[in-house]
Amino acid sequence: MANIITIDGPSASGKSTIGLLFAQKIGYQFIDSGIFYRLGSLLVLKYKVPLNDIISISKIFKKLNPKFNLINGRQAILIEDENVTSILHSEKVNKITPILAAYKQVRDILKIKQQKIGSISNTIMAGRDIGSEIFPESKLKFYITASPEVRAKRRFKSMSKENSKLTYEQVLEETKKRDYQDSTRLISPLRIPDKAIIIDTTKMNIEKTLKKLEDYYINSPIFNA
Ligand code: DC
């Protein structure tokens, strides 16, 4: 059986950055489950599928077969042979992804895909419901969070490079809106999984956070198995 470490948390909490670095350090594969929701959303936009056409939306998510390639030394995500890495976090995709992620049909389809990926090799998977719904039996679960203001500041820093008109206040408002959408939806809302270790990164840098995760890993049943 492959080991699985789960990292959940709200948007821009740093879980993907930390998860990837942590995975590289301990030799696990890293999967950001949010990418699957974003890829499906991108295709829904591409094919102009109405957001209430759940049959067509389900077909798109079922067929989802992304490729993860190294291009110029960086991880690139390809779908239907197109490199979509740079548009996965566009405002259009940001807007519709929480809507599609709230459909039970979409979540059921992605649950099977995510469980399959995690069963193949040792994996760190990040998302909103990984420790609670996808791998509830995981022996090491983290919940990484930070204040909305700090998370908005981090997102503003990366987003303002692409959109110079964007203000910090807009990003803060959008961050709070996404928190509300993710935590109040009826199906698999964002929540702290049972037995998860809570790490608040509001006043912690990447190195310190990484060290904390490593310490828990070394003392966990996974490491000592
Ligand atoms: O982590 P992210 O910002 O890339 O996630 C994009 C959207 O997908 C966000 O609205 C939450 C949703 N999501 C989810 O519902 N469950 C997951 N396991 C991962 C992401």
Segments making up each domain of the chain, as ranges: 4-211
Q: How far apart, in whole angstroms, are the C-alpha atoms of residue 135 and residue 168?
A: 35
pLDDT tens-digit series, residues 15-33: 999 999 999 999 999 999 9
Exposed, middle or buried, 31 (CB in 10 Å: 0-12/13-18/19+)?
buried
Distance 128 CA to ligand 1 centre (A): 6
Q: How far apart, in whole angstroms, are the C-alpha atoms of residue 161 and residue 170?
A: 15
Q: Whose CA is nearest to atom 9 of ligand 1?
A: 98
Q: How far apart, in whole angstroms, are the C-alpha atoms of residue 164 and residue 188?
A: 35
**Token code pair at residue 162:** 């692409």
The reported pLDDT for the residue numbered 73 is: 67
Distance 37 CA to ligand 1 centre (A): 6
37-46, 50-59, 69-78, 143-152: lowest mean pLDDT where?
69-78
Average pLDDT over residues 144-168: 89
Q: At what angle do helices 104-120 and 54-63 cross, to 10 degrees?
A: 10
Tell me if 101 CB under 6 Å of ligand 1: yes
Q: Which of 211, 178, 149 is nearest to 18 (CA)?
A: 211
pLDDT tens-digit series, residues 121-142: 999 999 999 999 999 999 999 9
Average pLDDT over residues 85-89: 90
Residue 166 has pLDDT above 90, yes or no: no
Q: Whose CA is nearest to atom 2 of ligand 1?
A: 34
| pTM (2 d.p.) | 0.91
Distance 33 CA to ligand 1 centre (A): 7
Class for the domain spanning 4-211? alpha beta
Q: How far apart, in whole angstroms, are the C-alpha atoms of residue 202 and residue 200?
A: 6
Residue 161 has pLDDT above 80, yes or no: no
Which ligand 1 atom lies nearest to the CA of residue 11? Answer: 3
Residue 46 has pLDDT above 90, yes or no: yes
Distance 9 CA to ligand 1 centre (A): 9
Confidence label for 158 from pLDDT (cuts 50, 70 and 90) = confident
CB 209, CB 18: distance < 8 Å: yes
